[in-house]
Amino acid sequence: MAGARLKTRKDIWTVKYRPQALDEMLGNEQSVTTIRQLVQSNNLPHLVFHGPVNSGKASVAFALAYELYGEGYERNFTYFNASDFFDQGKRYLVRDKRFIRIIGTDDPKKIRKSVISIFKEVINEYAGTGSIDADYKVIFIDNAESLNSDAQHALRRIMEKYTATCRFILSTTQPSRLISPLRSRGLQLFFTYVSGAKLIEYVRSIAILEGFTVSDDGLDAIAYHSKGNVAKALLTMQIASLSLQAGNYDISQQLIYEAVLGETPEDITQLFESAIAGDIMAARKVIDKLLIENGLSGSEILEQLHGIVIESSETDESIARYVNKIAEADLRMLDASNDRIQLEAMVANF
C-alpha cells in the first residue's frame, strides 16, 4: 500500500482523474445532458463552450471524444490551443512535431509563412481529411478568444466547408471576443464551477483513492480557496499531500494553507511589487513572462494578483484601491482583444 501511495504522488491528479466519460463529469449537468442527447441522436453540431478557467470545458471535450471514438479517439480527435498559436507564435510551432512537415523547418527564424497562414493550412488539412472509421472527426480549439479577427473569419469558412467531415468545438473564457458569425455556427453551452458541497464530496473521494484522509476543516479550506474550481482543489490537495511526514496520511487545514501559499508564483509577487513601486518596465517584463512562458491567461493573472493584494501588508485604503483597479481590468478584459494591453494599463495606474 505504501509503495502504491508513493507512486501515485508522482502523477498529476488533474490528469490522472480527468473524466473518461460524460457520466463521470462533475457539475454542469445541463450542458453535459445536452451533449449526451446530441451524441445519442447522432446529430452533433459544432459547439461553443464558454465559461471561466478550469470550469470543465476541456474535460467535457475529451470525454465527448471518448464517448464517440473509444480508445482510438486520438485518430479522430485533434486538440489545438489558440493561445499557443497566436501568443507564442513561431516559437511554439517549431516545438510541435505535428507542424514540422507543413512549415518545413525546426528553426523559427527560417519560417517564411505567417502564423495565420500556417494556422489556416493546419486546420484545413485536419478538417478536410475524412475519418476512416467514423462519420466525422472532431477538432477542439481551446482558448479560442486568442484567435485574431482574420483567423476567426478563416475558421468560420472552414467550418462551413467541412461540415460533412468535421465538427468543431470552440472553448473560450471570453465569448464576446468571438465574432458573431463564428458564435452562430455552433451551439453555445455555458460552464461554471461546481458547488462547495459537491466539491468537498469529490475531493474526499479522491483522497481516499490516494490513501489519504483530509480533516473536515481541511476540506473547508480547500473549498474556500478553490471556490468550485475542481482543478485548483486537486492541485492544492496534491501539494499538501507532498508535505506529509512518513507514516502520516492525514491532510490538515494547516497543510492546506501552506500549500495555498506555495501555489502563488513568485512572478505574481514581483508583478505586484513592481506595480506599486511604479516600475512599469519591470512590470511589463513580468507580464510577458506570465503570459508567454508560464502560459497564464489574463484572468488567471488577475485572480492571483488579487490574492496577493488581499494578503499584503498595505493599508486598507491602498488595498481597496488596488482591488478596484484589478476589478476594472477584469471588466475591460471581457471585451478586449489583448490581455497584455489591459494588464499593462492596470499596473501603470496602480
**Distance (Å, rounded) from C-alpha 232 to C-alpha 102?**
37
Q: Supply the pLDDT for residue 187.
A: 95
Q: What is the pLDDT of residue 83?
A: 83
**pLDDT tens track for 287-302:** 988 887 777 778 888 8
- Which carries the bigger pLDDT value, residue 349 or residue 190? 190
For 80-108, what is the mean pLDDT?
73
Question: 10 Å Cβ neighbour count for 293?
Answer: 10
| Mean pLDDT along residues 253-282 | 83
CATH number of 266-348: 1.20.272.10
pTM of the model: 0.74
pLDDT band at 262 (very low <50, low <70, confident <90, very high): low
Q: What is the per-residue pLDDT for 298?
A: 84
Residues of the chain with pLDDT > 90: what percent?
39
The sign of the dihedral angle between the CA atoms of 196, 201, 204, 206 is: negative
**Residue 24 clears pLDDT 80, i.e. is over it:** yes
Enumerate the CATH 1.20.272.10 domain ranges in the chain, comma separated: 266-348
Question: What pLDDT does residue 110 have?
Answer: 67
Per-residue pLDDT at 9: 47
Q: What are phi and psi of 213, to 5 degrees?
A: -125, 155
Strands 213-214 and 250-251: parallel
CB 259 within 8 Å of CB 236: yes
- Bridge-partner residues for 81, per DSSP? 142
CA distance 170 to 72: 22
Band (337; pLDDT cuts 50, 70, 90):
low
- Residue-by-residue DSSP string for 56-106: SHHHHHHHHHHHHHGGGGGGTEEEEEHHIIIIITHHHHTT-GGGHHHH--S
The ranges of the chain annotated as CATH 3.40.50.300 are 28-190
Where are the CATH 1.10.8.60 domain residues in the chain? 194-263
Mean local confidence (pLDDT), 145-171: 92
Question: Exposure of 144 by Cβ count < 10 A (0-12 exposed, 13-18 middle, 19+ buried)?
Answer: buried
Using pLDDT thresholds of 50, 70 and 90, give the confidence band for residue 10.
low
Task: With a cut of 50, say whether residue 333 has pLDDT above it.
Answer: yes
Query: What's the CA gap between 193 and 78, in Å, rounded?
Result: 25
- The pLDDT value given to residue 167: 95
pLDDT at 261 over 60: yes
Q: For the residues 26-40, what does the mean pLDDT come to?
A: 93
Q: Which residue has the cell 478557467?
A: 53
Look at residue 339 and tell me whether its pLDDT is greater than 90: no
For the chain, the average pLDDT equals 86
Both ends of the chain: CA-CA distance in Å?
52
Sign of the torsion angle spanned by Cα atoms 219, 220, 225, 231: positive
Residue 151: all three cell numbers together: 483567423
Pick 246 or 145 by higher pLDDT.
Answer: 145
211 conformational bin, left if phi > 0, alpha if psi -120 to 50, beta if neither: left
Distance CA 226, CA 2 (A): 29
Is pLDDT of 4 > 90? Answer: no
pLDDT digits (tens, 9 = 90+) for 45-65: 999 999 988 899 999 999 999
- Name the one residue in this structure whose C-alpha cell is 485536419: 126
pLDDT score for 38: 93
Distance in angstroms (rounded) separating the CA atoms of residues 175 and 55: 14
If you average pLDDT over each of 186-190, 247-251, 257-261, which comes out highest?
Answer: 186-190
Looking at the domain 28-190, which fold is it?
Answer: Rossmann fold (3.40.50)
Domain covering 194-263, topology: Helicase, Ruva Protein; domain 3 (1.10.8)
| Per-residue confidence (pLDDT) for residue 99, from 0 to 100 | 72
Are the CB atoms for 80 and 103 separated by under 8 Å?
no
